[in-house]
Structure 1
């Protein structure tokens, strides 16, 4: 079980790196993190008004910038 948990993520990372499937997976993970952050903050407006809300929201939006840009470059 430990071998599967250690080797499988590495296998998938090398297999899907710089591939459309890997980029889409990154985009899905980023959208999920943004959605959970907004939900935990109590809404989109509250995600910017709480203590670390601005930095967290901007950081998650930057996490979404790479997959979107990579998809544009990949399909252009």
Structure 2
């Protein structure tokens, strides 16, 4: 188990970073985080009105900007 925990992040960081599979994985993770944040806030409108809502929502949206940009360029 320790070997998997040590080797897996290195594999994802170095091997999948610049190919489309890694970009798709990033999009899936970012979309999931955004969906969970909006669900926990009680809706899209509420995700901006709660304490730290704007910064959290914008931060998660920025997580989606890089993968979309990378897919357009490649």
TM-score exceeds 0.5: yes
Instruction: Please give the alpha-carbon distance, in whole angstroms, between the structure 2 residues aligned to 1:12 and 1:58.
Output: 25
When the two structures are superposed, what TM-score results if normalisation uses the length of structure 2? 0.94
Q: Report the counterpart of residue 32 of structure 1 in structure 2.
A: 32
Return the offset for 1:13.
Answer: 2.4
Structure 2, unmatched stretches of 5+, are: none
Q: Distance in 2 between matches of 1:13 and 1:59?
A: 21
Over the aligned positions, Cα root-mean-square deviation in angstroms equals 0.9
Aligned residue-pair number = 74
C-alpha separation in 2, matches of 1:8 and 1:65: 24
Structure 1: stretches of 5+ with no match in the other structure: none
Provide the C-alpha distance between the structure 2 equivalents of 1:44 and 1:12, rounded to a whole number of angstroms.
31
Say yes or no: does 1:7 pair with 2:2: no
* DSSP 3-state at the match of 1:25: helix
Runs of 4+ in 1 over 6 A off after TM superposition: none
What corresponds to 2:55 in structure 1? 55
Per the normalisation by structure 1, the TM-score is: 0.91
